[in-house]
C-alpha cells in the first residue's frame, strides 16, 4: 500500500524529562501522513484498510471510521444514516454514518457535501467523496462538536472486549488548512489539547487555504495518553470554513495495544523525535 510520508511532531527531550521527573503521563504526540485511500477520498489513516470499510468482523480490532459516506457505514451500528446536515443537490450518498452526536454552534454551521464552492467550502485536495465542514461565512466564530460519549458507553454491547475503553488515537484528513481553524479536544468540558492551523502550517511549510498542496491538505494523527483521554472534539473556524474527512479513532483496549509509556520511558520518545520540538497549545 502506498504511504503518504509525513514528519513526526513530539515533545523535546528536555520537556519529556521534566514531565517524567514530575511523574506525569502526558505524552500526546502528533504525526502527519497516512495512506492513499481507494474510495476516492485521497488520504486516510494507515490504521485501517485503504477502502475505509470496517466490517462487523473487523470491529474487534478497535478502530472506527467516520467518512460521511453512506457506502462505508459500519454494519453493526444503527442502519439509518443521519442526513440532517446534507447540502441539497450536493450530497448524493452522503451522511453521518456512525453513532456520533454531531452538534453545531448554530443551525447551518455544519454541512456534509461533495465538491467545492467558492467562498463556501473547498473539498480536501483530490477528495471526490463526501466531507464535512463548519462555516460562519467569514464573520464571527463557529464550531461543530463531534461527541463520542454515547459511543464509548455502548461499545461494550457491540464488542465486549472493548468495554470500558478510552480513545487513545485519532486521525483526520484536514483540508486546505487555514490559520483561522483549530481542532480542540475535550474530556467532558475540560480542554485537554488543541491543534491550530497556524502551528501545522508553520511545521510543514504550507500556505493557508491552499486547496492542492500536500503541505496544506494533511492527514493528521494524534496519539493520546490516558491522562489526555477525550470524549469530544470541536472543529472551530473564524473564517469561511474548516473542512475535514475520514475521522478514525482507536480504542486503548484493542488487541496488541501497548500501554502508553509513563515515567522515564517517555525520554526515549523524546530522543527519537529530537528536532521537532514545537508543542501544540494546551
pLDDT, one tens digit per residue, over 4-61 is: 334 333 322 222 222 222 233 456 789 999 999 999 999 999 999 999 999 988 999 9
Mean pLDDT of the chain: 83
Note the pLDDT of residue 120: 92
Is the pLDDT higher at 137 or at 247? 247
Question: Are the C-beta atoms of residues 211 and 122 closer than 8 Å to each other?
Answer: yes
Predicted pLDDT of residue 258: 66
- Report the Cα–Cα distance between both ends of the chain, in Å, rounded: 35
The DSSP secondary-structure symbol of 229 reads -
> What's the pLDDT tens digit per position in 226-237?
888 899 999 999
For residue range 60-69, what is the model confidence (pLDDT) as tens digits?
999 999 999 9
CA–CA dist 250, 240 (Å, integer) = 30
- Across 207-223, b (16+ Cβ under 10 Å) vs e yields bebbbeebbbbbbbbbb
pTM: 0.83
- Taking residues 75-82, what's their average pLDDT? 84
**Residue 4, helix vs strand vs coil:** strand
Domain ranges of the chain: 3-272
pLDDT in tens, 144-168: 999 999 999 999 999 999 999 999 9
d(CA 266, CA 248): 25
Coil vs helix vs strand at 234: strand
Does residue 2 have a pLDDT over 60? no
Question: Which has more confidence, 126 or 76?
Answer: 126
Is the separation of the CB atoms in 31 and 232 below 8 Å? no
Amino acid at each position: 500500500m502506498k504511504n503518504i510520508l509525513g514528519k513526526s511532531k513530539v515533545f523535546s527531550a528536555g520537556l519529556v524529562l521534566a514531565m517524567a521527573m514530575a511523574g506525569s503521563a502526558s505524552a500526546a504526540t502528533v504525526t502527519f501522513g497516512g495512506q492513499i485511500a481507494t474510495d476516492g477520498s485521497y488520504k486516510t489513516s494507515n490504521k485501517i484498510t485503504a477502502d475505509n470499510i470496517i466490517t462487523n468482523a473487523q470491529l474487534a480490532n478497535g478502530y472506527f471510521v467516520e467518512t460521511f459516506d453512506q457506502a462505508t457505514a459500519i454494519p453493526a451500528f444503527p442502519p439509518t444514516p443521519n442526513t440532517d446536515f446534507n447540502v441539497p443537490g450536493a450530497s448524493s450518498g452522503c451522511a453521518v454514518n456512525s453513532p456520533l452526536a454531531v452538534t453545531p454552534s448554530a443551525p447551518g454551521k455544519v454541512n456534509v457535501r461533495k465538491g467545492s464552492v467558492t467562498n463556501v467550502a473547498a473539498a480536501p485536495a483530490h477528495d471526490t467523496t463526501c466531507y464535512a465542514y463548519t462555516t460562519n461565512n467569514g464573520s464571527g466564530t463557529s464550531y461543530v462538536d463531534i461527541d463520542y460519549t454515547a459511543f464509548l458507553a455502548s461499545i461494550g454491547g457491540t464488542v465486549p472486549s472493548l468495554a470500558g475503553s478510552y480513545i487513545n488515537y485519532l486521525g483526520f484528513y484536514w483540508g486546505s488548512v487555514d490559520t483561522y481553524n483549530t481542532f480542540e479536544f475535550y474530556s467532558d468540558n475540560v480542554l485537554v489539547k488543541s491543534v491550530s492551523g497556524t502551528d501545522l502550517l508553520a511545521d510543514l511549510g504550507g500556505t493557508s487555504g491552499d486547496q492542492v498542496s500536500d503541505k496544506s491538505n494533511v492527514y493528521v494523527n494524534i496519539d493520546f495518553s490516558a491522562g489526555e483521554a477525550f470524549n469530544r472534539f470541536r472543529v472551530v473556524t473564524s473564517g469561511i470554513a474548516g473542512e475535514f474527512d475520514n475521522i478514525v479513532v482507536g480504542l486503548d483496549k484493542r488487541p496488541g495495544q501497548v500501554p502508553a509509556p509513563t515515567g522515564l520511558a517517555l525520554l526515549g520518545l523524546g530522543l527519537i523525535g529530537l528536532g521537532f520540538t514545537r508543542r501544540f497549545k494546551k
